[in-house]
A and B are shown apart, each in its own frame.
Chain A
Amino acid sequence: MAAAQAAQLPRRIIKETQRLLSEPAPGISASPSEENLRYFNVMILGPSASPYEGGAFKLELFLPEDYPMAPPKVRFLTKIYHPNVDKLGRICLDILKDKWSPALQIRTVLLSIQALMSAPNPDDPLAENVAKHWKDNEQEAIATAKEWTRLYATM
Chain B
Amino acid sequence: MAGIQVPRNFRLLEELEKGEKGIGDGTVSYGMDDSDDMLMRNWTGTIIGPANSVHDGRIYTLKLFCDLSYPERPPQVRFHSRINMNCVLNDGRIDVGRFPTLGNWRREYTMETVLTELRREMVSPANKKLPQPPENTNF
A positions within 8 Å CB-CB of B: 5, 8, 33, 36, 38-39, 60, 62, 64-65, 73, 75, 77, 79, 87-90
Contacts and interface: CB of A to CB of B under 8 A. Distances in A.
B9 A64 contact: no
Given A60-B9, A62-B10, A5 B35 contact: no
Contact of A39 (B7, B13, B35, B40): B7
A87 B36 contact: yes
Main secondary structure of the interface of B (DSSP, over half): loop
Main secondary structure of the interface of A (DSSP, over half): loop
A87 B35 CA distance: 7
B45 to A, nearest CB: 19
Interface residues of B, number: 14
Interface of B: 1, 3-7, 9-10, 13, 16, 35-36, 38, 40
A33 B1 CA distance: 19
A38 B38 CA distance: 21
Contacts of A75: 9-10, 13
A64 B6 contact: yes
Given A79-B38, A88-B40, 11 more contacts: A5-B3, A36-B7, A38-B4, A60-B9, A60-B10, A62-B7, A64-B6, A65-B1, A73-B13, A88-B16, A90-B13
